[in-house]
Amino acid sequence: MSTVAHLINGEITLRSGRTAQVFNPSIGEPVRQVELADRATIQAAIDSAKAAFPAWRNTPPAKRAQVMFRFKVLLEANKDKIAAMISEEHGKTLEDAVGELQRGIENVEYACGAPELLKGEFNRNAGPNIDSWSDHQPLGVVAGITPFNFPAMVPLWMYPLAIVCGNCFILKPSERDPSSTLFIAQLLCEAGLPNGVLSVINGDKEAVDALIEAPEVKAISFVGSTPIAEYIYTEANRRGKRVQALGGAKNHAVVLPDADIDNTVNALMGAAYGSCGERCMAISVVVAVGDQVADTLVAKLTPKIQALKIGAGTSCGLDMGPLVTGAARDKVKGYVDAGVAQGATLVVDGRGLVVPGNEAGFFLGGSLFDHVTTEMSIYQEEIFGPVLCIVRVGSLEEAMQLINDHEYGNGTCIFTRDGEAARLFCDEIEVGMVGVNVPLPVPVAYHSFGGWKRSLFGDLHAYGPDGVRFYTKRKTITQRWPQRASHEAAQFAFPSNG
């Protein structure tokens, strides 16, 4: 069985000897293993990054951008290979894997604009014979810790932008599906990235803690569950590091009586059951305004959920693949059990699904609950699986209060034809990413991604303009060259332009 290794100083290397199994969730069997880094491995990556940083920070931004242009071409040329690697280890459909990679490539395209993104500001004669300007300077060695559900896209949210800003980056991807992440990093090296500027270290909590504790690591970006996000933010922040830690979600879709119901239903199907619900932007709660809306949604959603095409992710033409692990499948099944026990109406039951030819795979069908209340665990907690809950309310105001009261504030959307209602919703909802008739309002690469409340720990969102701010520190220089013949007296009052 082959072993997925680390990328350190431009070389693929095995060091620790400690491994974990990597499964193909469609067949429920391990297909390879991955080495888990120890602290010595992490330190080797840090040392490599420190050595590469002085030359890389002084490389002109235009030359850094040229590496990213070549990287983009290589990603596009290897699109099908990367998608197959993602699908084999994660389980998502090939079409979904291609879509994930494309959104990652868009972030590489944004990073190609480094010369423009890093331009500072300049003022001549800010004072008598005084010029002043600001500069965006890199932090040094920075790190990213990324989740299993987007092994291509989320790393590409982080290191292309960090690297074009002049930093050296250490990536700790999920050990559940590491192959595509490592391969993509190798493509960046092939594009001409100097050795040591990017390292990929596979590992578990030992690797995470080593990055948190290393004084050489100046910033950490994280995407994952809220408990881990809070842990990383607290521990890294306590050590003086800059941190952006994106956590969990419970995303609501509000459906008003005037919504285009057929289009709404199709949108909800993709947003709730795409990628088997393993998305931090997945819609997991529909807030139906009025019983008539709820009844209509249930009637139209039910046959579509029952007709979902579910099978091995590496097959084409499917709607859903398996969940990533057997433990993930069992956890989601446990939520369905709890919903029934707590009194919700289970309209469609996805438990017990068997895919012919893939009986050992980690499959679960789509489930739909109606009459869900806010005290139920299926409403309160992030399920991260193909389960959709319908909550019934009497007004838009009641729907908004329900969303604003929830501890998470990652994404939300409203389906309506009423511009006034949509504007009120956008203005007053306490959520970081909002869609109007758009179920998955994931910002494009030249905006920034991030939630509110317990969906984000830190002040800056991921990628886009906030990404530039996160991976750089601003320096302001004030310079004066007095005229040769001038002789000026000492000034003891605080300087000003008055």
Active site residues: 280
Separation CA 227–CA 83 (nearest Å) = 30
Q: 110 is in which domain, residue-wise?
A: 3-247+455-477
Q: How many domains does the chain have?
A: 2
What is the CATH number for 123?
3.40.605.10
b/e string for 271-290 if b means 16 or more Cβ within 10 A?
bbbbbbbbbbbbbbbbbbbe
Do 367 and 255 share a structural domain? yes
Q: Which tens digit of pLDDT belongs to each residue from 23-35? A: 999 999 999 999 9
Are residues 133 and 66 part of one domain? yes
Residue 488 has pLDDT above 80, yes or no: no
Map 351-420 to HEC letters: CCCCCCCCCCCCCCCCEEEECCCCCCHHHHCCCCCCEEEEEEECCHHHHHHHHHHCCEECEEEEECCCHH
Q: Are residues 133 and 273 located together in one domain of the fold?
A: no
Record the tokens describing residue 30, joined without a space.
Answer: 């391990």
Tens digit of each residue's pLDDT (9 = 90 or more) over 56-68: 999 999 999 999 9
Average pLDDT across the chain, whole number: 96
Helix H, strand E, coil C: the string for 303-351 is HHHHCCCECCCCCCCCCECCCCCHHHHHHHHHHHHHHHHCCCEEEECCC
Rounded to whole angstroms, the Cα distance separating 40 from 48 reads 12
pLDDT of res. 127: 83
**pLDDT tens track for 207-233:** 999 999 999 999 999 999 999 999 999
User: How would residue 498 be classed by pLDDT, with cut points 50, 70 and 90?
Assistant: low
Residues 180 and 266 in one domain: no
Residue 497, pLDDT score: 67
| Percent of the chain residues past pLDDT 70, beyond the cut | 99
Say which DSSP state 449 is in: B
Confidence of residue 485 (pLDDT cuts 50, 70, 90): low
Q: For residue 183, give both structure tokens.
A: 């391969």
Half-sphere exposure of 72 (CA within 13 A, CB side): 18
Q: What is the pLDDT of residues 342-386, one digit of tens each?
A: 999 999 999 989 999 999 999 999 999 999 999 999 999 999 999
Look up residue 123 and give its amino acid: N
90 and 220 co-located in one domain:
yes
Q: Are residues 237 and 112 in the same domain?
A: yes
DSSP-H helix ranges across 143-247: 153-164, 179-190, 205-213, 226-238
Pick the last residue of a domain from 436, 468, 493. Answer: 436
**Per the domain annotation, does 443 fall within a domain?**
no
Report if residue 498 sits inside a domain: no
pTM attached to this predicted model? 0.94
Nearest to 310 by CA among 299, 323, 298, 292: 323
CATH number (domain holding residue 298): 3.40.309.10
The tokens describing 404, both together, are 């604003």
User: Is residue 408 over pLDDT 80?
Assistant: yes
Please indicate, yes or no, whether residues 222 and 197 belong to a single structural domain of this protein: yes
Query: pLDDT value at position 432?
Result: 97
Answer yes or no: do 268 and 178 share one domain: no
